[in-house]
Amino acid sequence: MNKRDLTIQVSEAVGNKLSKAICSHIIECILSSITAALMRGESIKITGFGTLKVTGRAARRGRNPQTGEKINIPARKTVRFKPAKLLKAVVNR
């Protein structure tokens, strides 16, 4: 599923009372709000769905698989998703 498919499903879920353009704008606003919160280092908890949070990865030594040369991989931040119990239960039915 992509953003376009999500827009269509949201529009149909509300009985086509909102246009696809409005649904698309709403989805964009939600995603930009989530992105902004993650950039500030906040975690996002959506009950029944899961939690998104920023975690740090330490610097480490790696290996180039093509040449075998050892390389330094710098520290960085990444986003982790932990699904809620309800989402796990629905997926595993």
Q: In the predicted model, is pLDDT for residue 83 greater than 90?
A: yes
pLDDT in the model for residue 1:
93
**Residue-by-residue DSSP string for 9-66:** HHHHHTTT-S-HHHHHHHHHHHHHHHHHHHHTT--EEETTTEEEEEEEE--EEEE-TT
| Interval 12-24 mean pLDDT | 90
Tell me, what's the pLDDT at 16?
A: 83
Give me the chain's average pLDDT, please.
Answer: 94
Where residue 36 falls among pLDDT bands split at 50, 70, 90? very high
User: pTM for the whole thing?
Assistant: 0.79
